Amino acid sequence: MDNSHQKKYYENLIERIKNCEKHHFSDEDKVAFLKMLKYAPLPHIIRINKKSQYFYLVKEYLIKNNMTDKICDNIFLVKDGLRKIDRKMAKLNDKDIKLTDKQVQNKILFNSLVDLGIVTNQEIVSMIPSSFIITIAQKAQPTDLFLDMCAAPGSKSGHILENNVNLIMNEVVKVRANVLSARLGDELEKFVICGDGRKFPLVSYTDDKDFHGTVKFHSILADVPCSGDGTFRKNYLPEETPSRAASIKNMTKIDDDIEIIADIPENKVKSFEELAIARKEFLQVVGFSKNPILNIELLQRALELTENYVIYSTCSLDPIENEFVVANVDAEICDWKEIGNCVFDLVNITDTAKIEPTIKARLVYRPGIQECKKSPFSFSNKKLYKTMRFYPHDNNTGGFYIAILKKRNDFIKKSDPENSAEEEKELLPVYTMPEESVRSIKIKPNLFLKINNTIYNQISEDLRNSLVTFYKLNLPDDCIFLATERSKKKIIMFRSMQAFALAKAGNCTNFGSTVFELDKRMKNEPEHARDYKIINFAPLKPFLTDYIHIKTTKFFRYMLKHSVHFDEIPDMENQQLLKDWQHANGIFYCEGIFCKGYISSDSVTLMINKKEKDILNLVLPVDD
């Protein structure tokens, strides 16, 4: 089967872009774009989680073994031959795949790294929206809160969280919200709300001392639902499969509808609402959708909630999902240089200024489309030039669109002398979500939270003190622990009262970090720290003051496979810790890695799952 449906769709899309602005896309661009479509699978880009305790070991191993090329910071290009083969998509049988032992080992390693949230496969242009939030957060206060309004599947959220940003994630579909939580791994603190972003609540909260606060978002990422037509290289196929052909055919049908609707006289279709009613199939197609009304509403709500910026993005190249949406909200369009970017060096393709050397990853963009005359999708705004279009043939990437918006001070559209009369016309009338009153939450003195039908209550002061003393923790006062109500099997930790207020007000599916779990071997009532084991060191690591240091990687490797007697541990400095943690779980450390180990009367057994053991056996350096 050839790629005829796919080719037709993108040829139509290119013509529509050229009809908006003739000089935006040349004939040479069209040839280069379609060549990418036919011949060029996407480069394999990964991001290593900087919050993971395995970060430095994994990074050094990949570089040393010539498996990756560094792009910048924690972003790497995986070299040929290491991309995970999807046998179904590639139509290959096991017999057809001939791999060396080293390739098999590397594939297993990559799969384990992804499963544990240590490595994320992510297209490089997909990291640009999150990099703007990271840049903004660097200039904000440590307690400022940020929101990812449409967070699943989670790559951008993970990128933000790895950079110590207080992030709330929202996802409307519960299954996707759960996938989001699982995909981010255990080392990132997760606050996931399941709800319609258009109705995301305004929340105020009070405590037992009559303190009043309101949950505020410094800035918001709105990576909205879209057709995804910029991602055609992500799952590259030399030939179309029946399912891919059907999906592209649906998208092509949408474009055929667009051409038909665009020819209807303006007096016949006065608003997008009427269009939605008249052409329902245009707005919702199984598998793919182009729903600018939804995106306008999401973006408008984001502007209502933010105190500063909204980063609007799609993995689409269609002006209807991009410039048309931005042109129909009440906001100031900003140049990216107003906030800068700490990860990428972004270069306007029309810029003739000398390009200076940089250690950042350099990507070329084209200015946004300023005008489209086809009704009812027409728009005109010179400031759309400040938005950014990333085309596959400019950077050897996928396609992406990004707009940086700022709420106006009075949030009322004003006349701008720079704009033409066309640009001063009223915004398109779109459906407005019914207003909700501010939700008021009382968060103290009794802290409790319901997550997926499980109730969590604040642990007793005695249990908290026991955990602090037993595990040698120097905890700040704002660290709060909640445990499952009846069994106290799991204890979660969090520090943000604003996030807690949101979790109580919304449909929370994941909250904070699960740090302790009841050890099944313990027969005591779960009111003492020795009954619990640490299952997540990432949030506790800054507060650990003492642990058993294994000084040689050779012996640590040995401990990964065997239980060891106390006397076998070389250069043991703190014998007292073995006594303190006897018949319980202790903390062990080697080469930046913390792990738990069960300490019996005379021996130690490290408690590490198989995937982590396999990774450590590969990436741990060998002692001289």
Q: In degrees rounded to 5, what are phi and psi of residue 265?
A: -60, 150
Summarize pLDDT for 148-195 with one digit per residue, the tens.
999 999 999 999 999 999 999 999 999 999 889 888 888 888 999 999
Q: What are residue 121's DSSP bridge partners?
A: 46
User: Is 584 labelled as part of a ligand binding site?
Assistant: no
Residue among 315, 334, 590, 595 flagged as catalytic: 315
Buried (b) or exposed (e) across 109-130, using 16+ Cβ within 10 A?
bbebbbebbbbbbbbbbbbbbb
Q: What is the pTM of this model?
A: 0.87
| Torsion sign over Cα 562, 563, 567, 571 | positive
Q: What is the pLDDT of residue 41?
A: 75
Longest CA pairwise span in the chain (Å): 89
Q: What are residue 311's DSSP bridge partners?
A: 221, 404
Q: What are residue 191's DSSP bridge partners?
A: 511
User: Is 155 labelled as part of a ligand binding site?
Assistant: yes
C-alpha angle 350-355-357 in degrees, rounded to nearest 5: 150
Q: Are 220 and 151 in contact (CB under 8 A)?
A: no
Q: What is the pLDDT of residue 573?
A: 67
> What is the separation, in whole angstroms, between the first and last Cα of the chain?
57
Among residues 329, 322, 295, the alpha carbon closest in space to that of 149 is found at 295
Q: Are 122 and 159 in contact (CB under 8 A)?
A: yes
Q: What is the pLDDT of residue 417?
A: 42
Among residues 427, 199, 419, the alpha carbon closest in space to that of 329 is found at 427
User: Is 228 labelled as part of a ligand binding site?
Assistant: no
Among residues 151, 199, 193, 266, the alpha carbon closest in space to that of 432 is found at 199
User: Is 153 labelled as part of a ligand binding site?
Assistant: yes
User: Is 72 labelled as part of a ligand binding site?
Assistant: no
User: Is 154 labelled as part of a ligand binding site?
Assistant: yes
Question: Of the CATH numbers 3.40.50.150, 3.10.50.30, 2.20.25.10, 3.40.50.10490, which one belongs to the domain with range 124-232+289-341+367-424?
Answer: 3.40.50.150
**CB burial class (10 A; 0-12, 13-18, 19+) of residue 349?**
exposed
Please state whether 174 falls in left (phi above 0), alpha (psi between -120 and 50) or beta.
alpha
Domain edges within the chain: 4-123, 124-232+289-341+367-424, 546-624
CB within 8 A of 263, min separation 6: which ones? none
Active site (annotated) includes residue 334: no
User: Is 538 labelled as part of a ligand binding site?
Assistant: no
Among residues 128, 135, 191, the alpha carbon closest in space to that of 163 is found at 135
Q: In degrees rounded to 5, what are phi and psi of residue 465?
A: -60, -35
Summarize pLDDT for 569-582 with one digit per residue, the tens.
877 667 789 889 99
DSSP 428-462: PP---PPP-PPEEEE--SS-EEEETTEEEEEPPHH
3-class DSSP state for residue 112? helix
pLDDT means per 10 residues in the chain (624 residues)?
Answer: 71 88 85 82 90 94 89 87 44 49 76 90 96 97 95 95 95 91 87 93 76 87 93 64 52 52 46 46 42 90 95 95 94 96 94 73 94 82 96 93 88 43 47 55 73 87 93 91 82 89 88 89 70 92 93 92 88 80 92 93 92 91 72
CB within 8 A of 137, min separation 6: which ones? 144, 146, 160, 163, 164, 165, 218, 219
Instruction: Tell me how far apart the alpha carbons of residues 489 and 520 are, in angstroms, rounded to a whole number.
Output: 9
